[in-house]
Amino acid sequence: MLYGVSYYPEHKSNEELKWDLKLIKESGINTVRMGEFSWCRMEPEEGRYDFSWLDPVIEELGQAGIRTIVGTPTACPPAWMVEAWPDMFYQDNRRICRPFGGRRHGCYNHETYRKACAGIAKAIGKHYGRNPYVAGFQIDNELAQEGTGRCTCKNCRKKFQVWLEQKYGGIETFNRKSGAIFWSQEYRAFEQINPPVNAIEPGAQIQIRDFYESPTVRLEFERFSSESQIEFQNIQADILKAFTSYPVTTNGTGLVTNSIDYFKGFENLDCYAFDYYPNLRDAWVDSFPYAFGRGVKPDLPFWVMEFMSGGGHRLSGTGRLQPGPGALKQAVVQAFANGADLLLHYQFRSFPAGAEQLNYAIVDLDGIPRRRYYEMQETANLLKQLEPLKETSFCSEVGILLDYDSHWALKIKPVNEPEFSYMDFAGKLYYNLERIGIHSDVISLERDFLSYKALVLPASFVLKKETAKRLQEYVKQGGILIATFLTSVKNEDNLGYTIPLPAHLVEVFGVTVQEVEPVFDSNRTKLGIRLASEEDEVETRDKAWSELLAGNAKLLGYYKDTYKKDSMVISQHSFGEGTAYYVGTDLEDSAWRALFKSLLGPVCNWKDEIEAPEGVQVISRIWQEKQIYFLFNFSGQEKTVCIPAGKSDFLTKEELLQEIIIAQNGFKVIV
Just list the catalytic residues.
142, 306
Which of 243, 336, 351, 373 forms a contact with its own copies (CB under 8 A)? Answer: 351
Burial tier of 9 (Cβ tally within 10 Å: 0-12, 13-18, 19+): buried
> How distant, in Å, are the alpha carbons of 152, 363, 444 from that of 316?
26, 20, 34
| The residue type at 194 | N
CA neighbours closer than 13 Å in the CB half-sphere of residue 459: 27
Task: Determine which residue in the list 57, 121, 217, 376 makes contact with its own copies, applying CB under 8 A.
Answer: 217
Determine whether the annotation assigns residue 103 to a binding site. Answer: yes
Among 84, 162, 242, 355, binds its own copies (CB under 8 A): 355
520 binds its own copies (CB under 8 A): yes
| 141 is annotated as contributing to ligand binding | yes
156 is in an annotated binding site: yes
For the chain, how long is the longest CA-to-CA vector?
A: 77
Within positions 370 to 409, which residues make up the interface with its own copies, using CB under 8 A? 370-371
Binder to its own copies among 245, 353, 614, 645 (CB under 8 A)?
353
Binding flag, residue 98, its own copies (CB under 8 A): yes
- Within 581-600, the residues that bind its own copies by CB under 8 A are none
Distance of alpha carbon 7 from alpha carbon 578, whole angstroms: 53
- Asked if 415 interacts with its own copies (CB under 8 A), we say yes
Residue 435 interacts with its own copies (CB under 8 A)? no
Residue 7 interacts with its own copies (CB under 8 A)? no
Stretch binding its own copies (CB under 8 A), from 191-199, 219-227, 599-607, 612-620: 191-199
Contacts of 520 (CB under 8 A, 6+ apart): 416
* 186 touches its own copies by CB under 8 A: yes
Q: Looking at residues 444 to 483 of the shown chain, list those that interact with its own copies (rule: CB under 8 A).
A: none
Interaction with its own copies in 261-290: which residues (CB under 8 A)? 281
Residues 6+ apart with CB under 8 A from 364: 349, 350, 370
| Closer residue to its own copies in complex, CB, 30/93 | 93
Pairwise CA distance, residues 607 & 623, whole Å: 15
Instruction: Tell which positions 23-82 bind its own copies, by CB under 8 A.
Output: 37-41, 73, 76-80
Footprint on residues 476-495 left by its own copies (CB under 8 A): 489, 495
Task: Pick the stretch among 199-207, 333-341, 382-390, 463-471 that binds its own copies (CB under 8 A).
Answer: 199-207
Indicate the burial class of 388 (C-beta count within 10 angstroms; 0-12, 13-18, 19 or more): exposed
149-157, 316-324, 335-343, 431-439 -> range binding its own copies (CB under 8 A): 316-324
Which parts of 537-576 interact with its own copies (CB under 8 A)?
Answer: 545, 563
Distance, CA of 389 to CA of 289 (rounded, Å): 21
Q: Where are the beta strands (DSSP E) in 459-567?
A: 480-484, 511-519, 529-532, 537-540, 543-551, 554-559
- Figure out which of the listed residues 131, 155, 185, 234 binds its own copies, where binding follows CB under 8 A: 185
Residue 457 identity (one-letter amino acid)? L
* Contact call for residue 356 and its own copies (CB under 8 A): yes
Q: How far is the CB of 40 from its own copies (least distance, A)?
A: 4
**38/472 with CB nearer its own copies:** 38
Residue closer to its own copies, measured from CB, 500 or 576: 500
Q: How far apart are the first and last CA of the chain?
A: 20
Instruction: Judge if the upstream peptide bond of residue 196 is cis by omega within 30 degrees of 0.
Output: no
Angstrom CA distances, 366 to 33, 169, 317, 347, 591, stand at: 21, 61, 19, 14, 51
Residue 128 or 420: the one with the smaller Cβ distance to its own copies is 420
CA distance 172 to 115: 36
Does 207 sit near its own copies (CB under 8 A)?
Answer: yes
Nearer to its own copies, 210 or 536 (CB): 210
Size, binding site for its own copies by CB under 8 A: 110
Q: Is 666 in the site for its own copies (CB under 8 A)?
A: no
List 172, 517, 577, 638, residue binding its own copies (CB under 8 A): 517
Amino acid at 567: S
Under a CB-based contact definition with an 8 Å cutoff, are residues 483 and 582 in contact?
yes
Q: Dump the DSSP string for 29-58.
A: --EEEE-TT-HHHHSSBTTB---TTTHHHH
CA-based R_g, the chain, Å: 26
Annotated binding-site residue numbers: 103, 107, 141, 151, 153, 156
Q: Which residues are annotated as a binding site for substrate?
A: 103, 141
The binding site for Zn(2+) consists of 107, 151, 153, 156
